Amino acid sequence: DTQLARMAKLVEDAQNGKAAAQRLADRISAVFVPVVIALALATLGFWIGNGAGPTAAFTAAVAVLIIACPCALGLATPTALMVGTGRGAQLGILIKGPEVLESTRRADTIVLDKTGTVTTGRMTLLAVHTAAGRGPR
């Protein structure tokens, strides 16, 4: 297992995960889609019941489906997260998951070391060098 393979797996896992916004969109779509279909069928029945021809009734029902289409809601969030993690990988930024990408919207400062990497976030002391004639206190 090489470092490159681990990095590729990390990007793949990030693109397969679901962020909170994506889970919310999925929950809303799960309720919204059946309601819209019911409204379209009700529209079809209403138009036919009021004497409109089948063509006009069908057109009105399709108009309800088109106007209320949740495609943008269901597709925009995962697409944006996938593009974000993919573009980050192209730029050398490994994002562990969509929830990490989503949480960066609250960040106003990012501190990098001299090589431009962010590691564990914990500083460690490697050595203490004292001036001549002085000992550690």
Point out the residues that are catalytic.
113
| Helix pair angle (54-67, 20-49), 10° resolution | 160
Phi/psi at 3 (5° precision): -60, -40
Cα–Cα distance, 80 to 104 (Å, whole number): 14
Q: How many residues does the chain have?
A: 137
